[in-house]
C-alpha cells in the first residue's frame, strides 16, 4: 500500500480538519480556510471536503497540502507523522491513535501555528524575490529583495524541519521560535504588511 492510500484509509477529513485547528460543527461544516468565510460553508465528508463558497474540494491530503502550502507527498508525510501512522508497518499493526495528553495537544497547536506563520513568510519572501529583483546592475537593491535573499533558505529549512523532523527536534525549533516572541512578532508584521497591501489594492482599484 502506498503512503497516500495508507493515509487516506486511516485519517478521515473531519479528524484532520479538527487536528489542524478548524472548528467543525455537528453538521460536519466548518468555515472555509481558503476564502473569507463568515459562516461555515465548507462541508467535510469522511473522504472529501467541498466548499459551497469557493468550490475548493479534495481529499484529506489535498486539504493539508493547501492549508500549509505543501506538495501532496509532503502533506501525506505530515499526516502520517502527526497521526502516528508508520508506513513501514503493515496496516493491521497500526493501533488506533492513543488519546493525546493535554500537554502534547497544546504543543501540537503551537507547532501548527508556527508552521503556518513560517509558510506565510516563505510565500511572501518568494514573491519579493521576484517582484523586487533589480532590473539592471546599477539599481539600488530593494530592502525586500535583500531580505528575501538572506532569509529564504533559512526559513525554508525551518519549515522543512517542522514538517519532517522527529518530535524531539521539532519541539526544540518551536521553543526557539517562541523565545523572545519571535513568531508572534513575525505574525504581527505579516498581518500589518497584508493590511497595507489590501489598502494599496483598494486604492489602485478606486
**84: number of Cβ within 10 Å:** 13
Q: How far apart are CA 142 and CA 190, in angstroms?
A: 18
* Selected range binding Zn ion among 2-10, 24-32, 164-172, 182-190, rule: CB under 5 A: 24-32
Q: Indicate the residue among 38 and 202 with the shorter CB distance to Zn ion.
A: 38
Helix or strand run (H / E) with residue 197: helix 182-205
Helix or strand run (H / E) with residue 75: helix 72-82
Q: Is 54 an interacting residue with respect to Zn ion (CB under 5 A)?
A: yes
Report the residue from 18, 23, 25, 35 that binds Zn ion according to the rule CB under 5 A. Answer: 35
Q: Is 57 an interacting residue with respect to Zn ion (CB under 5 A)?
A: no
Q: Indicate the residue among 20 and 128 with the shorter CB distance to Zn ion.
A: 20
In angstroms, give the least distance from the CB of 56 to Zn ion. 5
Q: How many residues bind Zn ion (CB under 5 A)?
A: 7
Q: Is 51 an interacting residue with respect to Zn ion (CB under 5 A)?
A: yes
Q: Is 28 an interacting residue with respect to Zn ion (CB under 5 A)?
A: no
Q: Is 40 exposed, middle or buried (0-12, 13-18, 19+ CB in 10 A)?
A: buried
CB 176 within 8 A of CB 143: no
Helix or strand run (H / E) with residue 42: strand 42-44
Q: Is 34 an interacting residue with respect to Zn ion (CB under 5 A)?
A: yes
List contacts with Zn ion (CB under 5 A): 32, 34-35, 51, 53-54, 56
Amino acid at each position: 500500500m502506498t503512503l497516500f492510500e495508507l493515509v487516506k484509509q486511516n485519517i478521515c477529513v473531519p479528524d484532520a480538519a479538527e487536528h489542524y485547528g478548524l472548528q467543525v460543527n455537528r453538521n460536519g461544516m466548518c468555515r472555509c480556510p481558503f476564502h473569507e468565510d463568515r459562516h461555515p460553508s465548507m462541508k467535510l465528508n469522511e473522504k472529501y471536503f467541498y466548499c459551497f463558497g469557493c468550490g475548493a474540494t479534495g481529499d484529506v491530503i489535498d486539504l493539508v497540502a493547501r492549508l500549509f502550502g505543501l506538495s501532496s507527498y509532503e502533506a501525506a508525510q505530515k499526516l502520517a507523522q502527526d497521526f502516528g501512522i508508520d508506513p513501514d508497518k503493515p496496516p493491521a499493526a497500526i493501533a488506533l491513535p492513543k488519546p493525546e495528553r493535554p500537554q502534547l495537544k497544546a504543543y501540537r497547536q503551537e507547532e501548527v501555528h508556527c508552521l503556518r506563520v513560517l509558510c506565510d513568510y516563505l510565500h511572501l519572501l518568494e514573491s519579493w524575490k521576484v517582484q523586487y529583483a533589480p532590473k539592471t546592475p546599477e539599481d539600488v537593491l530593494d530592502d525586500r529583495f535583500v531580505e528575501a535573499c538572506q532569509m529564504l533558505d533559512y526559513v525554508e529549512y525551518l519549515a522543512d524541519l517542522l514538517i519532517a523532523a522527529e518530535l524531539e527536534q521539532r519541539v526544540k525549533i518551536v521553543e526557539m521560535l517562541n523565545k523572545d516572541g519571535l513568531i508572534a512578532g513575525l505574525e504581527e508584521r505579516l498581518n500589518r504588511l497584508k493590511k497595507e497591501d489590501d489598502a494599496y489594492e483598494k486604492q489602485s482599484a478606486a
